[in-house]
Amino acid sequence: MFSKWSIKSIICYYVFVEYYYLDSSNITRIVFRNKFVVVFLPVTKAPCNRQLLAMSVFPCSCNHSTEKGNRDGETESFHHFFEGWISEQNQHLKDLLVAGEELQSVKDKVVEHYESYYKTKSRCAKQDVLAMLSPTWTSSLEDAFLWIGGWRPSMAFHLLYSKSGLQFEARLHELIQGLRTHDLGDLSASQIAQLDEMQKRVILEERQITDLMAGHQETVADASMVELSHVASEMTRANERGEVEESKELEDKVESTLVQKEEGLEKILQKADELRLGTLKGIVDVLTPKQAIHFLIAAAELHLRLHEWGKKIDARKENHGTGEGKTYNSSI
């Protein structure tokens, strides 16, 4: 039973987006379109309509056209959003490490932080799904481990069992004596059974979504795309010879076809993100509050350090002039 707990190392990538903490009394930081805004509201006991306020000021919350200029603006705004969200995650990690007796409230706050990310990401994906699938806010290292715009859901279980094995080995002497450690090395038989069943379901859903993406990717070479690419190529060659002018009808047809491709991608990304969030919350629900704190600490530490290491690698490659590292927008 414990063999799978002895895993020493596993790469688990969590891609999360920036969230600006919002509660009933203040907004610490928000982003509206391309501008960074700091807003201070007086402390008040009056209730705050989170949904209404978030929809009005968070990135990608407004209806914009899909022209390149606006898309670039949304991407830059979301990049800002990610930087702030990851800063919040770092603060939440500190809170998790000193949770004390406030285990449940700290756990709930962190889970809510993840939920808010996926809500914002969903809104932005409707505006520009391509940016969500090819993020500018992650490093090349992180990109190498992406699965449909984020972390692979089944990897959450590898993270859990890796941390469980490390804590089990560290406290083995106490466990042999029958003492409870109340961490991830102290999972009960019931918890292990629930996690095992959940892992099987997640792996099945993950494969189904992977197959959906593979099928959708193949439509890039369907008859309509092949025909359009040929007609457009013939048109380009004719333009170069000065025989004909560009066809507005052809441009409209190309745009219409590509919009359908993007809509398909957005639906698949939504399924992938729902599985990611559902897996995270499902694991946390099986664990005790103290165990959940340990799991959330491990998740945050891995994400933050992987992001940090990746940025250092990209910066080093950029400084050495190889041109292979990922370049970040200096204005962000």
Q: Tell whether the model's pLDDT for residue 299 goes beyond 90.
A: yes
What is the mean pLDDT of the segment spanning 5-29? 34
The pLDDT of residue 12: 35
Which is higher by pLDDT, 150 or 235? 150
What is the mean pLDDT of the segment spanning 187-213? 98
What is the mean pLDDT of the segment spanning 78-88? 90
Q: Tell whether the model's pLDDT for residue 279 goes beyond 80.
A: yes
The pLDDT of residue 189: 96
What is the mean pLDDT of the segment spanning 12-16? 33
Residue closest to 109 by CA, chosen among 272, 307, 278, 296: 296
Q: Tell whether the model's pLDDT for residue 156 goes beyond 90.
A: yes
Domain boundaries, the chain: 2-319
Query: What pTM value is reported for the model?
Result: 0.75
Alpha-carbon span 61 to 55, nearest angstrom: 5
Alpha-carbon span 162 to 185, nearest angstrom: 10
Instruction: Give the pLDDT confidence of 40-64 residue by residue, as tens digits.
Output: 333 333 334 333 333 333 456 433 3
What is the mean pLDDT of the segment spanning 80-107? 93
Q: Do the beta carbons of residue 261 and residue 135 sit within 8 Å?
A: no
Helix (H) or strand (E) holding 57: helix 50-57
Looking at every residue in the chain, the average pLDDT score rounds to 80
121 burial level (CB within 10 Å; 0-12, 13-18, 19+) = buried
Q: Tell whether the model's pLDDT for residue 1 goes beyond 70.
A: no
Q: Tell whether the model's pLDDT for residue 84 goes beyond 90.
A: yes
Q: Per-residue confidence at 81, pLDDT binned at 50, 70, 90?
A: confident
3-state secondary structure of 1: coil
What is residue 22's DSSP assignment?
B
Alpha-carbon span 224 to 257, nearest angstrom: 8
Q: Per-residue confidence at 286, pLDDT binned at 50, 70, 90?
A: very high
List the beta bridge partners of residue 88.
none
> Of all residues in the chain, what percent carry a pLDDT higher than 90?
59
Q: Per-residue confidence at 240, pLDDT binned at 50, 70, 90?
A: confident
The pLDDT of residue 316: 93
Q: Per-residue confidence at 245, pLDDT binned at 50, 70, 90?
A: low
DSSP code per residue over 33-82: TTEEE-------SS---HHHHHHHHSTT-S-----HHHHHHHHHHHHHHH
Backbone φ and ψ for 249, nearest 5 degrees, come out as: -65, -40
Which of the residue ranges 58-67, 101-110, 254-263 would you say has the lowest mean pLDDT? 58-67
The pLDDT of residue 178: 76
> Of all residues in the chain, what percent carry a pLDDT higher than 70?
73
Q: Tell whether the model's pLDDT for residue 154 goes beyond 70.
A: yes
What is the mean pLDDT of the segment spanning 202-226? 98
Which of the residue ranges 41-50, 92-101, 179-188, 257-266 would you say has the lowest mean pLDDT? 41-50
Alpha-carbon span 64 to 67, nearest angstrom: 9
